[in-house]
Amino acid sequence: MEINRIVLSGCAGSGKTTVGKALAERMGYRFLSAGELARQHAERLGYSIQELQKHLANHPDYDRELDAYLTRWGMENEGYVLDYRLGFYFLPAAFSIYLDVSAEVAAQRIARQNRTTEFANVVEPAVVLKSLSQRNTQMKNRFLDLYHVDFTQTDHYNLVVQTDRLNVVETVNFIADRLKF
């Protein structure tokens, strides 16, 4: 069986975008990131990603629009890697992968990437860790409220990869080996 639809999920800092781009390149697939689309939406509204998360808690229209768009796109296309936390839920025919990471390692990664606009222009790992924890909790609760689904439950996925001790190349190799690609 050829796997030509892959969705990546995980908390912020797990490597969804970085691993997704590298995996798509290795497989000769397209890459699309729900996170990047959300960041662009936040920028259009003049929000940080944190502010957008808070806004979406009481205004779920954008979540619904984004989910409808990504579901339609995912069903109409093949040969892709999609960074989409709820991909396992909306695209059950896709091969779903959960990238697991400890909060501490996720905070270190984000601080190293200097993603300052996501964390009020602060890149100290301790500050990022606190903000990241709040962000992940808000997202988890938002999706529970909206769809009654917990994207952090690993039994939803075809493959779970603990990425704390793996770099991008090792993570991609691990996934490609499991996919026999």
Which CATH number goes with the domain that contains 40? 3.40.50.300
**Beta 80-83 vs 30-33: how paired, if at all?**
parallel
List the domain range (segments joined by +) for residue 108.
5-174
Q: Has residue 180 been placed in a domain?
A: no
Residue 28 lies in a domain: yes
Q: Cα–Cα distances in Å, from 128 out to 24, 53, 96?
A: 28, 15, 28
Indicate whether 20 belongs to any domain: yes
Give residue 1's pLDDT.
60
* Domain presence at residue 179: no
Phi, psi of 100 (to 5 degrees): -90, 140
Collapsing DSSP states into helix, strand and coil, what is residue 81? strand
**What per-residue confidence (pLDDT) applies to 7?**
98
Q: Is residue 165 part of a domain?
A: yes
Report the pLDDT value the prediction gives residue 122, as an integer from 0 to 100.
Answer: 56
Q: Count Cβ atoms below 10 Å from residue 72 Cβ, excluding itself.
A: 11
pLDDT at 130: 83
pLDDT of res. 128 = 77
Measured distance CA(6)–CA(166) in Å, rounded = 20
- The region that residue 28 occupies, defined by phi over 0 for left and psi between -120 and 50 for alpha, beta otherwise, is left
Q: Is residue 105 part of a domain?
A: yes
Parts of the chain with a pLDDT under 50: none
Of 147, 2, 172, 173, residue with least CA distance to 85 = 147
Look up the pTM and report it.
0.89
Asked, for residue 32, whether it belongs to a domain, the answer is: yes
Both tokens assigned to 128: 């990022």
Residue showing tokens 């944190």: 50
- Per the structure, the count of domains in the chain is 1
Q: What is the pLDDT of residue 69?
A: 94
H-helix or E-strand spanning residue 70:
helix 61-76
